């Protein structure tokens, strides 16, 4: 399968701080990719590098086979929805569509008009007086009506109320089904990602911690509960992601491609949310005095910066 985004050792530095470091990814096409991580982990930086709004400080990035924002042809292939869905407050909805027509050779005017009608947006209304959900929908229209191959969305629903959030994601899924476009969307709301994403990237402290199809991640992570055990004693091939112990019991989150054969463990599946949370908390030192350190822990070595 072709890759929509390929990075090799990608990094971005602001003065002395690395907002993103040593990022090596190959995001396959045809997926809705969720980019998850705490604030300041580097999600927006990675997405800005992919759209070409930022230039790398280290490493390389290739989007749809070309350098980001290398020219009008490259720009036409990538649709971008920035955080807080910026639009021109003084221009009307219809003006925005006209902007799209004039600035994009590949603009599908019928598609855009149908969307606006379907979304119940008044073409004459100024974009500044739209609600948050409507603004997000307008911005999505601007990004998708030029029929891109890749859609990049930076925290598209973070500021929306639950109904607007649902409407937006529903609309996005319909667009994905109709246009067969790959999507990369970042969010810190894992519950939204669970429904719509089939590929996950977890970014913590400016580094990629986990990347893979959701199905595969869910089927290779297990929650093991059983009598207290030293995590270092587990068979090779079972990577302990997180562990918590009482004096008699151990609960481990384990990643492995093999089956769990040890009958002492009660094996359960894990939800995507718990999986991501386990990786996110991996970096935070716990205050439990009984806790035995699992294997290698990586502390964030720089202050995070968005």
Partner 1 sequence: MIWLTWRQFRAQAWVALAVLAVAAVALAVTGPNLASMFDASGIVGCAARGNCGALIDAFGYQVGHNAPDNVLDHLGPWVLFAVPSLIGMFWGAPLVTRELETGSFRMVWNQSVTPARWLAVKLALIGLASMATAGLLSLAFFWWSSPVERVSMARMTPGTFGATGIVPVGYAAFAFTLGVAAGILIRRTLPAMAVTLAVTAGAQAFMALWLRARLIAPVRAVIPLSSAVLSQFDVSPRTGRFIVYTGGNEPQGIPGAWILSGPETITTPAHVASQACIQSPALVPRPCLADLARLHLTQTVTYQPLSRYWPLQWYETAIFLALALALAGFSLWRVARRG
Partner 2 sequence: MIEFHLSGRSGVAPYLQLIQQVRQALRLGLLREGDQLPKVKDVAAGLAINPNTVLKAYRELEYEGLVAARPGIGTFVTGTLGGGPSLAAHEPLRRDLRRWLAKARTAGLDEESIEALFASTFHESAEEGIA
| 84 binds partner 1, rule: CB under 8 A | yes
Q: Which is nearer to partner 2, 168 or 279 (CB)?
A: 168
Q: In angstroms, what is the minimal distance from the CB of 63 to partner 2?
A: 21
Number of residues lying near partner 1 (CB under 8 A):
37
Per-residue contact string for residues 23-52; x = within reach of partner 2 by CB under 8 A = -------xxx--------------------
| Binding residues for partner 2 restricted to 102-141, rule: CB under 8 A | none
| 285 binds partner 1, rule: CB under 8 A | no
Per-residue contact string for residues 126-145; x = within reach of partner 1 by CB under 8 A = -------------x--xx--
| 171 binds partner 2, rule: CB under 8 A | yes
Picking from 153, 161, 160, the residue whose alpha carbon sits closest to that of residue 196 is 153
Contacts of 35 (CB under 8 A, 6+ apart): 43, 46, 47, 184, 185, 186, 187, 201, 203
CA 48 to chain centre: 13
Neighbours of 77 (CB within 10 A): 17
- Pick what 78 binds: partner 1, partner 2, none; C-beta below 5 to 8 Å, kind-dependent: partner 1
- Dihedral angle at the C-alpha atoms of 46, 48, 53, 59, nearest 10 degrees? 10
Picking from 144, 183, 186, the residue whose alpha carbon sits closest to that of residue 39 is 186
Near partner 2 by CB under 8 A: residue from 158, 196, 277, 304: 196
Whole-number Å distance between alpha carbons of 87 and 128: 8
| 52 binds partner 1, rule: CB under 8 A | yes
Q: In angstroms, what is the minimal distance from the CB of 176 to partner 2?
A: 6
Whole-number Å distance between alpha carbons of 153 and 40: 17
- Pick what 195 binds: partner 1, partner 2, none; C-beta below 5 to 8 Å, kind-dependent: partner 2
Picking from 272, 300, 288, the residue whose alpha carbon sits closest to that of residue 189 is 272
- Pick what 80 binds: partner 2, partner 1, none; C-beta below 5 to 8 Å, kind-dependent: partner 1
Record the tokens describing residue 280, joined without a space.
């996110």
> Which H or E element spans position 18?
strand 17-28
3-state secondary structure of 231: helix
- Contact residues for partner 1, defined by CB under 8 A: 51-55, 68-69, 71-73, 75-76, 78-80, 82-84, 86-91, 95, 98-100, 102-106, 139, 142-143, 146
- Contact residues for partner 2, defined by CB under 8 A: 30-32, 166, 169-171, 173-174, 176-178, 195-198, 259
């Amino acid at each position: 399968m072709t890759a929509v985004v390929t990075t090799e050792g990608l990094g971005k530095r602001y003065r002395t701080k690395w907002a993103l470091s040593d990022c090596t990814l190959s995001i396959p096409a045809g997926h809705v990719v969720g980019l998850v991580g705490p604030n300041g982990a580097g999600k927006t930086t990675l997405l800005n590098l992919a759209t070409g709004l930022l230039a790398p400080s280290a490493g390389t990035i290739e989007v749809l086979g070309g350098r980001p924002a290398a020219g009008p042809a490259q720009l036409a292939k990538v649709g971008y929805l920035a955080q807080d869905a910026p639009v021109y407050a003084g221009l009307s909805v219809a003006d925005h569509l006209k902007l799209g027509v004039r600035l994009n050779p590949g603009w599908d005017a019928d598609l855009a008009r149908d969307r606006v009608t379907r979304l119940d947006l008044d073409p004459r209304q100024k974009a500044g007086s739209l609600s948050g959900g409507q603004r997000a929908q307008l911005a999505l229209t601007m990004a998708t009506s030029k029929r891109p191959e890749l859609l990049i969305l930076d925290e598209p629903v973070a500021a929306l109320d639950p109904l607007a959030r649902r409407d937006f994601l529903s609309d996005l899924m319909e667009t994905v089904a109709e246009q067969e476009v790959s999507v990369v969307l970042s969010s810190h709301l894992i519950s939204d990602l669970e429904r719509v994403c089939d590929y996950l990237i977890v970014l913590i402290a400016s580094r990629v911690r986990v990347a893979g199809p959701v199905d595969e991640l869910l089927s290779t992570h297990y929650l093991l509960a059983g009598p207290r055990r030293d995590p270092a004693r587990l068979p090779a091939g079972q990577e302990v992601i997180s562990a918590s112990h009482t004096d008699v019991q151990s609960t481990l989150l384990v990643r492995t491609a093999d089956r769990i054969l040890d009958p002492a463990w009660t094996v359960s599946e894990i939800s995507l949310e718990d999986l991501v949370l386990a990786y996110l908390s991996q970096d935070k030192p716990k205050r439990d005095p009984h806790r035995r350190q699992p294997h290698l822990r990586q502390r964030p070595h720089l202050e995070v910066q968005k």
